[in-house]
Structure 1
């Protein structure tokens, strides 16, 4: 007995632990374990996740490494029954075994339904399913974006139905409609369509259809993922959800702007029936034409009634035509009477218009103009003299007053100079200067103002004198004749042959001798102007 124990191979604890580890890993390299998750508190600070799988009779530790946790399509949750796929291994330090999980999936439809209801309550509490968020679909979208599998029957049904109802431009974004990457691809498709620029190279869709055929809850689970629901709710383009058959319901049905029971129904909801639309437009056109004809007929009837109630055009102008004929018949006689009246009036006035009368009126006007000129010149001289008499004494007094004021200030300064220091003396001088400066400025301003007013009045009298002077008449080509005593010669009878006279023109005066009767001497032909003659006295 002792020899048997002596001959047994000895193993270290580490060797035993490694042997057990190799045995377990070789025997259970790939297993699927069903159990309830217990003790899950989320990811560890290292990124790994630790929890326990248990059933009624046993429990096994489980771990999900950081790299695999990010790839899980279904995240572990406390109390959920799942099927974990992975491999068994041991932890030699504590002599425990555990399962390293590669994938987790719910254990049966009941677990999925419980998870679905919990997720639905969470998203509904955030307001993602509110009716107020849903938008109206465009009546006639120009471009329709379809997010589905390009190889299934769904896309063919949608295209066929659109072609039957109203052919439209369709853009297909191919995605997987089940599996681990389904949710990610659908989210990318929705965001990709929304990122398109309106009017760009690729037209931005006016409406999106997310479609898939029927299937089990596991097959449709990608459309229940939270990321997909949030992408549908955040889409700027209206979305129709057409996932599964009529009895299938996914979470994006609640977030979409409209839920269609089937993909075919989604196509029917997206566009109207073209034939019905054409018929409706034709019906509207017919009603419009009929209404136009009724309006035109009614207007025609009103016009005819108005025309029937109006008088004939000839009756409207008959009275005026008669008045015109009567006036035309009396026009010739009235013209003759008017001419005779004017002729008699001019004949009575003609006897009064003699050359002597006109000459007398001219002489009277000339005498009045000469008197006004003399009066204006005399008045101007008087005004200037009166102004000079007014301001000359003031100017003389101003100089005397300034001298007296300066002398008085000098006398005051002389009296107080011995008593004042240089500083006080300078201050007094500045004070006197400050008092005299405003007076001098006011005197200069008053003198300048008075001289300006006098200059303005003198200019105005000068203009009046120039306007009344007879010299302006001389500038128009007339001349003034004066005798040797300087008296104005107004009549020819006042002159005799041999009398000396002075003829004043606009530019000066010349002497002349009266020769007698006027003699008209023609100029030589080379000096003649057009009808020019020279009058010699």
Structure 2
């Protein structure tokens, strides 16, 4: 019987098992079973021996006299006082003892107790892989949407070279117009001077020529100074526009990162809410759902009317029915 339990546990979900050997029939059987249950509960959680998460009290089939130890008061009280969840698996499915009513769960056979004690590890792994795949897909979709939104924002911003293109073009036009105009003025002045000099003596106009030369030099210096100021102003405005563009780009990056974190937090919150609303989490805490076909039975009257129904527990479904009432047994104590 112990080998069957260990083999079934190994097949479904390998776990650490502590075996407390006791007599299962005879005069000393009841006290040893009660001491074993109390002994498991007395194990220190921080001790060298690990405290079990679940106790299985199991025995193979036999006559009512062979199973009588599990009807004793000391055993029933020990099962009821156990802080560790306890599964009773005494005899065959048709055998019933008082420990079945004091335990947290009754299994029809010792092998059935092993099946109720642990889930199927491969099924849990497959479920985790499926959940992880859905979570990864959702995250990738969120990231792709954020990338598309970021690209749209970047596309809406003007390019840096376009911001300064008009200013640079205006400066080139000014430079192109100013120099030819000055050259034309100089040529015209030279032509007029040549005409006048041909009709007059040079010595008379030497002083006037020097004055005009100085005026032209001043004009040229003013031109150079004006050009330098224009170029300096354009460079200053260009640097200011570059700084503004850098600040705007920094704000866009910050807003995008903040939006991405916000969406991640929202996704995590949705995942937690989905987990809290999953009825499977309620089943894991020891509750069960009773239904007939697709209708959930919520009252005793509904159960009596249904007769045949299905009980949903953590690791599967159990088909059940209401048996005919048995005669009430008198008190044994």
State the TM-score, normalized to the length of structure 2: 0.50
Whichever structure has more helix as a proportion of its residues is 2
Higher relative contact order, structure no. (Cα contacts within 8 Å, ≥ 6 residues apart): 2
Whichever structure has more strand as a proportion of its residues is 1
